[in-house]
């Protein structure tokens, strides 16, 4: 992903993906602030999800893959009990 700083319509500056023209982060007051923050932008990969049943409660939830078989509620309770 190639990023650049461009002015926005609100007299501010945005960090923009040069390929897709999508605003990644915006609302910086000065070019200098936006340019400084451009190095700190964390690029997160797009994760495809699939609806699966939780192995504990069997309610459907959005799973990120075969490794992810418990819903957030059941995972939190398992962590509280020291199971995970």
Q: What is the pLDDT of residues 5-26, one digit of tens each?
A: 999 988 899 999 988 999 988 8
For residues 16 and 18, give the distance between their C-alpha atoms in angstroms, rounded to a whole number.
Answer: 6
For residues 78 and 36, give the distance between their C-alpha atoms in angstroms, rounded to a whole number.
Answer: 41
> What is the reported pLDDT for 29?
93
Q: What single-letter DSSP state applies at residue 44?
A: P
Which pLDDT tens digit goes with each residue over 27-84? 899 999 999 988 887 666 667 889 999 999 999 999 988 888 999 899 888 877 666 5
Helix (H, G, I), strand (E, B) or coil at 72: helix
Residue 30 tokens read as 């000065």
Task: Return the residue matching tokens 């982060």.
Answer: 25
For residues 73 and 38, give the distance between their C-alpha atoms in angstroms, rounded to a whole number.
Answer: 35
> What is the reported pLDDT for 47?
72
């Amino acid at each position: 992903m190639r990023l650049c700083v461009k002015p926005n319509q609100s007299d501010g500056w945005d960090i923009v993906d040069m390929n897709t023209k999508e605003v990644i982060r915006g609302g910086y007051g000065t070019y200098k602030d936006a340019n400084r923050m451009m190095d700190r932008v964390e690029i997160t990969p797009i994760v495809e999800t699939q609806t699966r049943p939780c192995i504990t409660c069997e309610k459907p939830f959005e799973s990120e893959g075969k490794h992810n078989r418990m819903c957030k509620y059941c995972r939190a309770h398992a962590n509280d009990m020291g199971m995970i």
